Copies of this chain bind each other. A is one copy, B any other.
Amino acid sequence: MQFWFEFASTYSYPAALRVETLACRHGVPLEWKAFLLGPIFQAQGWNDSPFNLFPVQGRYMWRDLERICADLELPFRRPSQFPRHSVLAARIACRFAAEPWLPDFVRAVFRANFAEDRDIAQPEVLEHSLNELGLPGAKLLERARSPEGKTPLRARTEQAVTLGIFGAPSFIVGDELFWGNDRLEAALAWAARSLDQTVNTALKPEPPG
């Protein structure tokens, strides 16, 4: 299952914090796909988060998120800025997508934004998160900010559009798209069923003949 997330996206926060545990429990392999929603929103004429453009929806979303985090026992503090610039964090997550520390880094950045109200647009904040994981933060940041660090994120975001992704978090299982933290369970159930079918097909004895 592919997990498509945006560091500035509110509902990506609970999804990012629980996706690995749930995927493990279902035996579903997980791919972490950071991308940017900004260009996707701009393409449909929105120059800000829809939660800012449509304040009634925005008010609801903050209360809904607060209830969801309380239910999941996740710490939550409403960020004093929203949405925060997530380009640099996404570049890191995209450039180092294959590193074993990636899930820990992703969770640390989401906690910084939505539980600690820290500005994830600031390189120092991201460097701190990397250092805390025992990694050479300054060096990794430098590599993510280089021209070669920028290309993967641009390609990733274009791929999101091709896949029909229009919001975050999104989950992709084969040809199926699931949108929203509240679709995580359905996406995993779909992935687990697909895996079962693949295994059953592989184990099916050859027809006699």
Task: Pick the interface stretch among A60-68, A73-81, A83-91.
Answer: A60-68
- Residue of B63, B167, B178, B183 near A177 (CB, 8 A) is B63
Interface presence of A82 (CB below 8 A)? no
Interface presence of A194 (CB below 8 A)? no
Interface presence of A132 (CB below 8 A)? no
**Contact, CB under 8 Å: B67 / A166:** no
Interface presence of A205 (CB below 8 A)? no
**Contact, CB under 8 Å: B186 / A60:** no
- Residue of B59, B67, B71, B164 near A60 (CB, 8 A) is B164
**Contact, CB under 8 Å: B186 / A59:** no
**Contact, CB under 8 Å: B164 / A64:** no
Chain B nearest CB, measured from A132 CB (Å):
34
When C-beta atoms are compared, the residue in chain B nearest to A167 turns out to be B57
**Contact, CB under 8 Å: A60 / B182:** no
Chain A 172-194 interface mask (CB, 8 Å, partner B; 1/0): 00001111101100100000000
Interface presence of A56 (CB below 8 A)? yes
CB contacts (< 8 Å) of A183 on chain B: these are: 64, 182
CB contacts (< 8 Å) of A179 on chain B: these are: 60, 64
Q: How far is the CA of A180 from the CA of B59 in the complex (A)?
A: 15
Q: How far is the CA of A182 from the CA of B182 in the complex (A)?
A: 7
CB contacts (< 8 Å) of A164 on chain B: these are: 56, 59-60
CB contacts (< 8 Å) of A63 on chain B: these are: 176-177
| Cross-chain pairs A/B with CB under 8 angstroms, 13 sampled | A44-B54, A44-B56, A54-B166, A56-B164, A60-B164, A60-B166, A60-B177, A60-B179, A63-B176, A64-B178, A67-B176, A71-B186, A182-B183
Q: Which A residues are closer than 8 A to B by beta carbons?
A: 44, 54, 56-57, 59-60, 63-64, 67, 71, 164, 166-167, 176-180, 182-183, 186
| Closest CB pairs A-B (n = 7) | A182-B182, A56-B166, A57-B166, A56-B164, A44-B54, A60-B177, A60-B179
